[in-house]
Every structure is written in C-alpha cells, then in structure tokens.
Structure 1
C-alpha cells in the first residue's frame, strides 16, 4: 500500500474541520467516560496510597479505590506530595528485582 500524498491528507483534514465548523462547536455535549469525576480542588486533596509489586516497583493509587491485583500496600497513605517523596526514598534502584539479582 502506498502512503497518501500530503495534499490528499491536507484536503481530508480541511474537509473535516469545515464540517465541524458548519455543525457548530457546541453541537455535541461532552460526557465523561469516568462517572466519578471530581473537581480539581477535591482531586488534589484526596488521599493516596503507595503500592509495591513483587518486583519492588512502586505505584500511587487513590486510597479510596480497591487494591490493584498483584500490588501490596507499602505502608504509606497520605497527601499527593507525600507519596512521591516516600517512593523516592525507598525505590533507589529502578530495575526490577529479577534484574538486580543477576
């Protein structure tokens, strides 16, 4: 298959933009795929939990969520800024355990 030439792509993009402009920018209502969308201030104040997996890799999840499969709590639940600090102190070698053992 040969790639389309640039002028064909430009015409297609321009046609799509013209179609959107003709319909009007506000003709479709946005619906969030996440039903539990929080206001930004509430999002920032939600507590987080630090998790680690069997390879000693770390992740941060909202504290009010179920524990992700394959991950265990690392003993830290706190504010948004505190969790990365905890990970920075504990996760000094970013390689998975299986690569560190060799």
Structure 2
C-alpha cells in the first residue's frame, strides 16, 4: 500500500467529523480517533478526498 521509504501517515477524525493526517507511531492527539486507514501522504490524501464529501462541521449539519 505504501512506497518503500516514504513515511506512513494515519488518517484521523475528530468529533466534528474533520479529517487529518498524523504520523504513524506517534501518540494520537486528544479528541481524535482512527479512521482505520494508513499509507503514504498521497494515499491518505486520496482517501480523505473520497471520504470527506461534506466539509461542514458535524454540529452545523445537525443544527440545520
């Protein structure tokens, strides 16, 4: 899934359904959970582009 030697990233999601990339092996920041996807930065960016189709905050989507 990843290029040899390229640093791996993990895709994370926060409570507002925002996505972020974080280095694999580093302690996960508070308020974030795993999206169960890891890969190179390019692979993770592609995954986020496919998954994060509504960029509004979760709280905003629920208030409408």
Q: For the superposition of Structure 1 and Structure 2, which TM-score range results when normalised by the shorter chain?
A: 0.7 to 0.9
In the comparison of the two structures, how many residue pairs are matched? 59
Following the alignment from structure 1 to structure 2, what is the Cα–Cα distance between the partners of residues 49 and 58? 10
Shift of 1:80: 1.4
Which structure's CA Rg is the greater one? 1
- TM-score normalised over the length of structure 2: 0.86
Q: Which has the higher contact order (CA 8 A, sep 6+)?
A: 2
Q: Which aligned segments of 4 or more residues in structure 1 are displaced greater than 6 angstroms?
A: none
For 2:48, the equivalent position in structure 1 comes to 87
Answer 1 or 2: which has greater helix percent.
1
- TM-score normalised over the length of structure 1: 0.55
Q: Does 1:62 align with 2:23?
A: yes
Q: Which runs of 5+ in 2 are unaligned?
A: none
Answer 1 or 2: which has greater strand percent.
2
**Deviation string for 1:42-98 (max 9, x for gaps)?**
6xx110000001110000000021111000010101111100111111110111011
